[in-house]
Structure 1
Amino acid sequence: MTEILWHGRGGQGAFTAARLLGDAYSLKDNAYALAFPSFGPERRGAPIRAFTKLDQKPIGNRSEITKSNYSIFLDDTLFNAKSFRELKQNGKILLNTKKKFDDPRVITLDGDSIAARILGLPITNTILLGAFAAISNEISLEEIYEAIRQTMPRRLHEKNIAAVKAAYEEVVA
């Protein structure tokens, strides 16, 4: 099973990204996904975590993820040295930031700039999803595009697909 831990703040769309990843993965044959959030009092800006579990067999374990294959941060203020404790061996951190790190486990992307340019809003959830496709073998761009088409309102398709693609291309470059 591949386990992905999402970190964000209320209103940034971390749970939406977790769910979109699960929806995209489930488009494959014999693929199962589970996505769920964890947050305290529901308020905009409060730290939240969301979880996505991906597997080739039905997922019975519905507990929160404590050690992940990938830990994705929509907000770099939530990232700190303790974040590495959440990783499995060979795990990766995908971080939305302008900062650079020498640690090979940390992949950075300035998702805020992509969001401003393409979406016109400071929402980086689908951008980090595109970056995830670039660093993992779990999901393809076409599967993400199809999940966007199936789950998001039509008026959001074009911009979010463009944001996913831009993030993917930036990480691959």
Structure 2
Amino acid sequence: MNKGLVEIRIHGRGGQGAVTAANILVSIAYKNGLWAQAFPFFGAERRGAPVTAFARIGKSRIRVRSMIREPDIVVVLDSKLPRLVNVTEGLKKGGCILINASSKDELTSLNLTGDFKIYLVNATGIALDLKLVLAGWPLVNTAMLGALAKILGFPFKTVEEAIIEYLGVEGGRLNVIAAKRAYEEVVEV
């Protein structure tokens, strides 16, 4: 992470763990000697409805507390969300978007164009392979977190530690494996 402050917006659906991912990301940042904050934005949404979580990571104390309107990075937990929500809105020039998609072909129909990099990881496939499923929904948040950590340049060891601290040893075991796979499999498109 080269910038003084990185602002991240995470788009997901209720139940996918966008807020949990933002909270674990804060822990990863702390473990790397950085300042961080995370907060959600949602109303009375139910499981499956679009939700947004935010995170800021900085090299010094973060005093701003407002919603992030111009993120450096956008994370999309569900590849269908760009059809419902303008996920690239406000994305800074030169920023990046990390999207959960099975292939480059899946991205073609999403019309994600702009002056930003696109990263792709098949977090759904990883979650299904590991049977990380709750109430029929693949739990993609920790896989996406692993991919995001790679993009940010964080060592995987801190990702593993943060997941175990947040979810516990038993609950975190498969999530660490998912994060590791995504950390290794994320690609720039």
Give the structure-2-normalised TM-score: 0.84
Q: CA deviation at 1:93?
A: 0.5
* Structure-to-structure mapping, 1:24-63, within 5 angstroms: 24-29=28-33, 31-63=34-66
Structure 2 unaligned blocks of 5 or more = none
Structure 2 counterparts to residues 119-158 of structure 1, below 5 A? 119-121=131-133, 122-137=138-153, 139-158=154-173
Secondary structure of 1:83's counterpart equals: coil
CA offset at residue 147 of structure 1? 0.6
Residue matched to 1:163: 178
Counterpart of 1:93 (choices 79, 92, 97) is 97
For the structure 1 residues 32 and 119, does the alpha-carbon distance in structure 2 shift closer, same or farther, using more than 3 Å as the test? farther
How far did 1:171 drift? 1.5
Provide the C-alpha distance between the structure 2 equivalents of 1:159 and 1:120, rounded to a whole number of angstroms: 7
For 2:97 and 2:118, how far apart are their aligned partners in 1?
Answer: 5
* Structure 1 residue 2 corresponds to structure 2 residue 6: yes
Q: CA deviation at 1:172?
A: 5.5
Which of 8, 11, 35 is the equivalent residue of 2:15? 11
- Distance in 2, Cα, partners of 1:82 & 1:47: 11
Separation of aligned partners in 2, 1:118 and 1:93: 25
* Matching residue's letter, 1:167: A
Contact 2:11–2:87 at 8 Å: present in 1 too?
A: no
Provide the rounded CA distance (Å) in 1 between the counterparts of 2:177 and 2:86.
33
Counterpart for residue 115 of structure 1: 127
Distance 1:105 1:152, change over 3 A: same
Q: CA deviation at 1:42?
A: 3.7
Q: Secondary structure at the match of 2:88?
A: helix
CA contact (8 A) 1:38 1:49 kept: yes
Work out the CA distance in 1 between the residues paired with 2:92 and 2:26: 20
For 1:135, give the aligned amino acid: I
* Cα shift at 1:105: 1.8
Note the residue ranges of structure 1 that are not aligned, 5 or more in a row: none
1:111-168 Cα distance to aligned partner (Å, 9 max, x none): 111000114310100000111122222x221111111121113211211111011111
Counterpart Cα distance in 2 of 1:152 and 1:120:
13
